[in-house]
Amino acid sequence: MKKSPSTSSLTDLKESEPTFVKLRLLSVILKLAEKIENPADLQILIPILEEIKKTGEKELSKKAQSILGCLQQAGITNPSLNDPNEKDKKIRLLEETIRRQEQQILRLNGENGRLIKENQKDHEEKSRRNAESERKDEQNKQQDEQQALQITELEWQLAINQSKNGPFVQIERETIIGEMPISITVQPGSYTKKINEFTYTSTEKGFKTFPLSPDVSQGIYKCEMKFNKQGDNHVGIMKSGLDIPFGKFPGFSPYSKDNAIFYYSGYTQQNSVGLQGNQQMKDGDQISLEVNLLATPRTAHLFINSLQQPVFVSGLPKSVQFWFFLNNKEDSISVLSIRLLNTPTAEKLSNKKELKWE
């Protein structure tokens, strides 16, 4: 659209122009607005007229308001709304904005999906690593247990070889003929064993019975142990070959008929029958069990710190094994020796109490 002279003059009007010049120009534009066949040609002036209406002098503002009134009567209020090209531009701009927003949403959704997959992958990787770590820990635990068993077997073989090289050496007392090689073979479980020692410690609460080898028969034998940590520890004698799995209590059927228990509390039991009367065992006590398999009947006596206890068991089987029991966490016992004696050390006490093996 070409600008009319009046339009061009108004557009180029400077602030320095005198007011009467501005009024004259506005008067010309007002006449055009009243008589022009196509008032839409003046719509480009609306922003300028609005500015003069707001900031101009009183007469200028009044004149601009009159021109705007004429244009409003002709239905011309906003040049951009009456310009089809401008409408198309706005529509295209809105469509482009919507398209970009949709692309942004798709991109964000894709990014969120990627992050979710990465987090899921990280979680799966951590789970795999944890499982692998647990597997390795279990494998290491089994290897430690296997090594402990191998050490026990080697100690056993070494002791046997040493015993074959000559007669038993007399030690400590004249009653001792020789020391027996010891081995302890049990299932894996909640316990630890010190290397080169028969020191066992419970790592979790649970019934655990440890039979000692070798079996003993046709002689007098004394097994010495130390209660490192007393919680729920017991010792006893069992018929050779009796198997008491972990988790089972030796004082319950069907095991009770084939073993005798010396409880830490001082109670003694065989086949669900018991007697009270022995001293209570505590931390640091040295516990000894002496079996006389040459006597009639065969007997088992308990010693606590070398002091013989009143309650003893009679009528033992021909072949027996010593054993100890751990239950509470941190309970600990060390097996010190099994010795073959020439003569018994147990004596007939005035306050003796006999519990018969039935």
**pTM value surpassing 0.75:** no
> CA–CA distance from 243 to each of 25, 76, 248 (Å)?
123, 109, 10
Tell me the two tokens of residue 228: 């490192």
pLDDT of residue 344: 95
Q: Is 332 helix (H, G, I), strand (E, B) or coil?
A: strand
pLDDT digits (tens, 9 = 90+) for 79-114: 544 455 666 776 777 677 777 877 888 888 888 888
| pLDDT category of residue 186 using cuts at 50, 70 and 90 | very high
- DSSP assigned state of 94: H
Q: Tell me the backbone φ, ψ of residue 279, rounded to 5 degrees.
A: -70, 145
pLDDT digits (tens, 9 = 90+) for 227-286: 999 999 999 999 999 999 999 999 999 999 999 999 999 999 999 999 999 999 999 999
pLDDT digits (tens, 9 = 90+) for 130-171: 888 888 888 887 676 566 555 545 554 554 454 444 333 333
pLDDT of residue 101: 74
What domains does the chain contain, in order, with CATH numbers? 5-73 (no CATH), 167-356 (2.60.120.920)
Cβ–Cβ contacts within 10 Å for residue 204, how many?
12
Q: Specify whether the CB–CB gap between 27 and 62 falls below 8 A.
A: no
* DSSP-assigned letters across all residues of 211-234: E-BS-EESSEEEEEEEEEE-SS-E
Task: Match 């409880």 to its residue by tokens.
Answer: 263
pLDDT of residue 304: 98
pLDDT of residue 249: 97
Nearest to 71 by CA among 32, 22, 110: 32
Q: Is 355 helix (H, G, I), strand (E, B) or coil?
A: strand
> Rounded to whole angstroms, how far apart are CA atoms 4 and 41?
9
Task: Match 């531009």 to its residue by tokens.
Answer: 89
